[in-house]
Chain A
């Protein structure tokens, strides 16, 4: 649906040029909710604004629905933009227009008749739950309601793509949840492709199918949500994941020295993550049965990522070094995420 090829964006500034995007390649499938996460200044807004040419890339091609919009003349581009809805962090509603007239705005631009406009606007207001507010002005609405108007307005032209630039960043957690579930239901109902940028991992976790992590104008990691959350590859991703999942080393271990290599007389500290079905298998029990090791559970947590159960367990294995290695190999043969935190001297730990 959306294909970004080698996107570069360079801003000329007084002290040299600033590379905001540095060779971005992304492919977003039809009907997907695609999240882009990054820290402040990473280039998120620049990236999403390149998709509808609010920002023209210095280099590279943007293909939306099989049309190269980077090559379009102004007039054609305006037509193409009607099929790309956008919602904003600060809603950007017209303060002089009522809720109804705000949603009608994109239709007026098309030159639609008032009767046709009404037939389109009313169902949209119903969809976002604002029928009763149709004659109010934006200043009389709460943030969540304003964003609902923004969503209805963005849907008025029946777009194929919806771009969300930090759409929930100005909202409280509860309102954020309701807006996200509205977006999810729209996504399913209309098979709408949604691109969502945010700096908040829980937004990604809540509704995205795919995520890309952007840093310094480059995509540093990309994949399915489950994969990214359970096996983060880059440090930035790990940091983001840890904002909502505890990936820290449990406090009881914090003061110990770890070695990455097996040491004589040492215990192995492991982080195991169980996803979906593997969470239901009695892996730990059979490990104890087959290998002469004593596990000690230091930390455990069960979470859900979009209906898939996901558990983390930090365990300490005590026993003969050979047995520990055998147990480790056994665990590695199973469908679970394993992270060797390190080996810690048995003297330091008073177990086993």
Chain B
């Protein structure tokens, strides 16, 4: 393989890492509070608010049921508004974030719901405020499970980012399509696939490691 090809590969790998990490980061910042709200406003929980819960739940479901490729195209105007363009890695971050945030919200919600209600009750009996229950009970107790969930979200994002590449988002997906598919470079195709697999493995192993390390159950 030529020097140019290697540079191209390295660039694409970096683009993928960049897209995935930035969108995972922003999506977490949005998804985490959403997950907390979804949990605590549910019936019988510490901040019971059936209406907020229903509306937020509906928004999350709507986003999650839209296939990524359609979502990406559908929000192009919004992408232009935020990123100033609809192609390139920065533009891809917008739909990636919008797709991942509700996914993370649900992951956080299900992790928080796993926390033993008895423990929440004990905190209430000690006079903890709802905010204290969230920060000192729910989140620390659910952390190992949230980390596993975030790992899953990052892996999905790696997949999505490859799809984003298909419409000019850059990254390994883009490379695979432009060279591997359109120019019949089977070697490039193979290498990108291998890199994607290795990436997923590494992310999963890291997630497993940290989750296990934090889990005291």
Q: Which of B125, B129, B140 contacts A97 (CB 8 A)?
A: B140
Interface-centre pick from A86, A92, A138 (highest chain B CB count, 10 A): A92
Chain B, interface residues (CB within 8 Å), range: 20 to 34
B119 and A93 within 8 A (CB): yes
The 4 closest A-B pairs by CB, nearest first: A92-B122, A92-B118, A81-B127, A78-B127
28 chain-A/chain-B pairs, Cβ below 8 angstroms: A54-B121, A54-B124, A78-B127, A78-B129, A79-B127, A80-B127, A82-B127, A86-B125, A88-B122, A90-B118, A92-B119, A93-B122, A94-B119, A95-B119, A95-B141, A95-B216, A96-B141, A96-B216, A97-B140, A105-B136, A106-B126, A106-B127, A109-B123, A109-B127, A109-B128, A153-B126, A157-B126, A157-B127
A257 within 8 A of B: no
The secondary structure that dominates the B interface is helix
Binary per-residue interface labels of chain A (117-157) against chain B in the complex, 1 for a CB within 8 Å, 0 otherwise: 00000000000000000000111000000000000010001
A52 interfacial contact with B, CB 8 Å: yes
A88 vs B127: C-alpha distance when bound (angstroms): 16
Q: How far is the CA of A202 from the CA of B122 in the complex (A)?
A: 26
Residues of A within 8 A of B (CB): 52, 54, 78-82, 84, 86, 88, 90, 92-97, 105-106, 108-109, 137-139, 153, 157, 163
| Chain B contact residues, CB within 8 Å of chain A | 116, 118-119, 121-129, 132, 136-137, 140-141, 143, 214, 216-217
Contacts A90-B118, A105-B136, A139-B216 hold; do A96 and B143 have CB atoms under 8 A apart?
Answer: yes
Q: Which residue of B lies closest to A157 (CB)?
A: B126
Residues of A within 8 A of B216 (CB): 95-96, 137-139
* Distance (whole angstroms) from the CB of B115 to the closest CB of chain A: 9
Whether A95 and B127, one on each chain, are in contact in the complex, defined by CB atoms closer than 8 angstroms, is: no
A52 touches B128 (CB 8 A): no
